[in-house]
Amino acid sequence: MSDQKNLFSSSRRQLLKGLGLVSIFPAISACAATGTSKASAGRVVVIGGGFGGATAAKYIKRGNPAIDVTLVEPNKTFYTCPFSNLVLAGERQLDSIGHNYDELQQVYGVKVVHALAQDIDPVAKRVSLSDGQSLQYDKLLLSPGIDMRWNAIEGYDEAAAELAPHAWKAGPQTLILRQQLEAMEDGDTFIMSVPGNPFRCPPGPYERASLVAHYLKQHKPRSKILILDGKDNFSKQGLFTAGWQAHYGDMIEWVSLSNDGRVVRVDAANKEVETEFGTRHKAAALNIIPPQKAGFIADRAGVTDQSGWVPVNPVTFESTQVKDIYVVGDATVAAPMPKSGFAANAQGKVAASAIVAAFAGITPLDPVWANTCYSLINPDYGISVADVYRVQDSQIIAVEGAGGLSAADASDNIRRSEAAYAVGWYNAISQDTWGTKL
Amino acid sequence: MRLVVLYTFLLSLLVMPLQVFADWQRFAALKEKIQDMTPIESGLELTLPLVADDGSAVPLKVTFKGSLAEDEHITRLWILADRNPNPDVIDFEISEHIPRIELSTRIRLGESQTVYALAQSNQGNLWLAQQEVRVTVSGCLMSGDDTTAETVMSQPRVALPRNPVAGEAAELRTMINHPMETGFREDEQGNLIAQQLVESLQVTRADQPVITANFHTGTSANPFVAFFLDQFDELTFSWTDQQGQQLSEQR
Ligand SMILES: Cc1cc2nc3c(=O)[nH]c(=O)nc-3n(C[C@H](O)[C@H](O)[C@H](O)COP(=O)(O)OP(=O)(O)OC[C@H]3O[C@@H](n4cnc5c(N)ncnc54)[C@H](O)[C@@H]3O)c2cc1C
């Protein structure tokens, strides 16, 4: 048994090497792209410069520099959700999770337009932007991430999010929540409302609770954390609950769906919430993570289905509904792959290779991916879950027996190493996506 | 463009009747209820996620929008899942006091499959709706029924609408804590855990039956039912388990 375990963990490590993506790029001769002729091999517009979009833009250029790639992203600096929980805990500054588009432009020759894509005409193959420009494409790639379903919880709209932040997109929202945590008095309560599945980053809320507890334990040790959940179980639950007990005693209380955990109404001005069966809770700091859907531009492109998410062909990540539109990242229905930055980055590469192959008239290979989700229980105590995915019968499946979960009885040393791996992962994926070093 | 439309149309002619016919005809539990009748395949709407990340509590809503004759109303409604070990999910006995058929619950789906809703009126008409659900346990997620939960009912909960007004239809919610042991599950030693279910929730108003929900192995743990009423006084909610234990709440 113990032999098997060793075998298992070493093979797992090998699988996860190189960000888990097993060579999917068709061999395009590099010569095709060189030479003085500036003839474009095709026009690609990428919408969204987050994990999926920035990766795709870069890898299309890497696959064939003669393809004309324009990336549309309103923000000059992209703040990652990964590690934003450390910013909440006061362990990092927001700057340290910001990335820019310099390398994509300067090294890879991606044109970057800082504007919001407002509409898409899939017949004329045109994108209209908030700055009045319109862009023509041969292939369009969307990685718009998520939008909140405003008012799905009564009283929770955009204005309410200024008072009770979701902080589920990093940046200004992260800072509002940080300020609320800083303003808490010792003994106050921090409340977080978590939606039902599917949502961005399944372990994210529980990592957030952990790191907020880490902050409160040092500065306001009599305070409480109340997690009101729309689910009866959650990602890495056993590891989280044990970690909470060990580090924070009973500071964190989790209320499940079947114990009346689902929030149905928010009074943001009074930082009060009401659950399904009428229980009211009042907070000093209130974090509402609302139900979500694909970024609105996916709707405009006509690629979403009734669920609000985008069904895709898993071999190419082309929309199953509109030709020549590829969609990656959180916006897609890629279950069992989670809505993670890791997955968005891997899918960005798959779509990039499919686009490069399509322009070259080649059939793309079937992709294989791995995903690892690290979570920190405190800055020196990490846990992880890993999976390997492939396509079978046109659907993504998790490969059985591959991947795994951190051992329940791992030593503090192992937890410390996993926390260090998490930092290594963060630096590597940031480097791979935006090329910006910390 | 026109060609595509024509092609899809022709294709649908080829495929649709066959499929719709074959689907429920091949499903014994449904065939048994429908027999030789022809169910109306519009008017009843079933809302379920297309992809469920956790098969242990999949939210389901069923709504009736079909047209009824005078004095006709829906009296029975069944939810069935064709690939669960036992296809019975939940069923309802519905009185005329229910102003609108819009029922919500949470169900269990062991694997990807088609879920059916069948409604019957007091005049014997049948309506059928179906939806396919893909069940995947998402990466970073783990499903898991709690093996330690006690198999007795506790915490009966009822939430009336916040500002109920007599005569105006509004939704109310109910839930009771219970693990809903299916009898298909093994404990750590590999022995089957005996079936232990909450059998039903009966709602009465001034001793008149309003609605009864009968729970089966396909009902999720902690049975949840939400429905619409337009009179909110003198209500009694009674849950009964397989041992005959009863818990009641009055409003
Ligand atoms: C607290 C938290 C912690 C997390 N931790 C991790 C982790 O440890 N590991 C991990 O793998 N994942 C983690 N995630 C998940 C990760 O952040 C997302 O899965 C990832 O960002 C998805 O990438 P994406 O490209 O789909 O969307 P995003 O990265 O959100 O990028 C979308 C981009 O599109 C832009 N955009 C949207 N609409 C338009 C438009 N109309 N026009 C132009 N641009 C547009 C947006 O401005 C944005 O920059 C975490 C998430 C949260 C909330």
Alpha-carbon distance A348 to A17, whole Å? 18
Q: Which structural domain, as residue segments, surrounds residue B168?
A: 22-138+151-185+192-250
Same domain, A201 and A94: no
Domain count across chain A: 2
Mean pLDDT lowest among A162-166, A185-189, B11-15: B11-15
Beta-carbon contacts of residue B216 (< 8 Å; ≥ 6 apart): B86, B88, B89, B90, B91, B197
Structural domain includes residue B12: no
Residue A3 belongs to a domain: no
Q: What is the CATH number of the domain that holds A219?
A: 3.50.50.60
Of A259, A307, A373, the CB nearest to B140: A373
Mean pLDDT, chain B, integer: 88
Q: pLDDT at position B15, please?
A: 45
Domain-embedded: residue A258? yes
Confidence of residue B26 (pLDDT cuts 50, 70, 90): confident
DSSP letter string over A106-139?
Answer: HTT--EEE-S-EEEEETTTTEEEETTS-EEE-SE
What CATH number has the domain bearing residue B34? 2.60.40.2470
pLDDT, residue A47, reads 98
Nearest to A110 by CA among A433, A341, A365, A329: A433
A311-324 pLDDT per residue, tens: 999 999 999 999 99
Q: pLDDT band at A348, cuts 50/70/90? A: very high
Q: Using most ligand atoms within 8 A of CB, pick from A16, A19, A51 the residue to mutate for ligand 1.
A: A51
Candidates A81, A101, A389: which one to mutate for ligand 1, based on the most atoms within 8 Å of Cβ?
A: A81
B157/A371 Cβ within 8 A? no
Establish if B91 belongs to a structural domain.
yes
Do B138 and A278 make contact, defined as CB atoms within 8 angstroms?
Answer: no
Does position B29 have pLDDT exceeding 70, yes or no? yes
Residue B85 within a domain: yes
The CB density around residue B170, as the number of other CB atoms within 10 Å, is: 16
pLDDT score of A14 more than 70: no
pLDDT tens sequence across B186-197: 888 888 889 999
Do A279 and A211 fall within a single domain? Answer: yes
| Residue A339 within any structural domain of the chain | yes
In a domain, B15, yes or no: no
For residue A330, how far is its CA from the centre of ligand 1 (angstroms)?
A: 7
What is the atom index within ligand 1 of the atom nearest the CA of A329?
Answer: 26
Contact yes or no for A266/A164 (Cβ under 8 A): yes
Mapping DSSP to helix (H, G, I), strand (E, B) and coil, where does residue B24 land? helix
**Looking at the structure, do residues A212 and A314 belong to the same domain, yes or no?**
no
pLDDT for the residue numbered A180:
98
What is the model's pLDDT at position A114? 98
Residues A228 and A109 in one domain: no
Instruction: Indicate yes or no: CB of B136 within 8 angstroms of CB of A278.
Output: no
Are residues A328 and A316 part of one domain?
Answer: yes
Amino acid (one-letter) located at B201:
L
Top mutation candidate among A340, A384, A421 for ligand 1, by most atoms within 8 Å of CB: A340
Cα–Cα distance, A421 to A408 (Å, whole number)? 18
Q: With CA atoms as reference, report the closest residue to A381 among A240, A253, A237, A201.
A: A240
- B211-244: per-residue pLDDT in tens? 999 999 999 999 999 999 999 999 999 999 999 9
Model confidence band, residue B247 (pLDDT cutoffs 50, 70, 90): very high
A30 located within any domain: no
pLDDT at position A403 is 83
Partner residues linked to B214 by β-bridges: B91, B200
Q: What is the pLDDT of residues A231-256, one digit of tens each?
A: 999 989 999 999 999 999 999 999 99
pLDDT, mean of residues A266-271: 98
Residue A35: pLDDT band with limits 50, 70, 90? very low
* pLDDT at res. B146: 54
CB contact under 8 A, A335 and B222: no
Q: Which amino acid is at A312?
A: V
Torsion of CA A123, A127, A128, A132, to 10 degrees: -130
Indicate whether A91 and A47 sit together in one domain. yes
The pLDDT value recorded for residue B4 is 45
Taking residues A206-210, report their average pLDDT: 98
Domain C-terminal end among A267, A290, A313: A290
Question: Using CA atoms, how far apart are residues A93 and A7, in angstroms rounded to an integer?
Answer: 40
B249/B161 Cα distance (integer angstroms): 16
Overall domain count for chain B: 1
State the nearest Cα–Cα gap between A334 and chain B, in angstroms: 9
Q: Is the ipTM of this complex over 0.90?
A: no
Mean pLDDT, residues B59-81: 97
Q: What is the DSSP string of A228-246?
A: EESSS--TTHHHHHHHHHH
Arithmetic mean of pLDDT, A165-188: 98
How far apart, in whole angstroms, are the C-alpha atoms of residue A398 and residue A407?
A: 20
Q: What pLDDT band is residue A138 in, cutting at 50, 70 and 90?
A: very high
- Lowest mean pLDDT segment, chosen from A121-125, A269-273, A372-376: A372-376
Residue from A5, A4, A7, A67 nearest A32 by CA: A67
pTM assigned to the model: 0.91
Q: Does the distance separating the beta carbons of A231 and B159 come in below 8 Å?
A: no
pLDDT (0 to 100) of residue B6: 44
For residues A154 and A175, membership in a common domain is answered with yes
Cα of A163 to ligand 1 centre, how many Å?
A: 22
The alpha carbons of chain B give a radius of gyration, in whole angstroms, of 20
pLDDT of amino acid B140:
54
Q: Domain span at residue A313? A: 41-147+293-364
pLDDT digits (tens, 9 = 90+) for B97-130: 999 999 999 999 999 999 999 999 999 999 999 9
A329 C-alpha vs ligand 1 centroid, how far in Å?
Answer: 8
At residue A32, the pLDDT reads: 41
**Same structural domain for residues A166 and A189?**
yes
* Ligand 1 center–CA A185 separation, angstroms: 32
**Amino acid of residue A86:** L
Say if residue B13's pLDDT is above 50: no
* Nearest residue (CA) to ligand 1, atom 45: A48
Task: Indicate if A201 and A258 belong to the same structural domain.
Answer: yes
Residue of B nearest to A338 (CA): B139
Q: Is there a single domain that holds both residue A136 and residue A215?
A: no
* Cα A418 to averaged position of ligand 1 atoms, centre (Å): 23
Cα distance from A384 to chain B (closest Cα, Å)?
A: 9
Mind telling me how many Å the CA of A47 is from chain B's nearest CA?
25
Taking an 8 Å cut-off on Cβ atoms, the answer to whether B175 and A258 are in contact is yes
Does A434 map to a domain?
no
The closest of A405, A411, A409 to A383, measured between CA atoms, is A405
- Measuring from each residue's beta carbon to the nearest atom of ligand 1, which residues come in under 6 Å? A 47-53, 72-75, 78, 81-82, 84-85, 116-117, 143-145, 168, 200-201, 204, 208, 295, 297, 329-331, 339-342, 344, 373-374
On whether the CB atoms of residues B82 and B88 are closer than 8 A, the answer is no
A38 vs A152, residue with greater confidence: A152
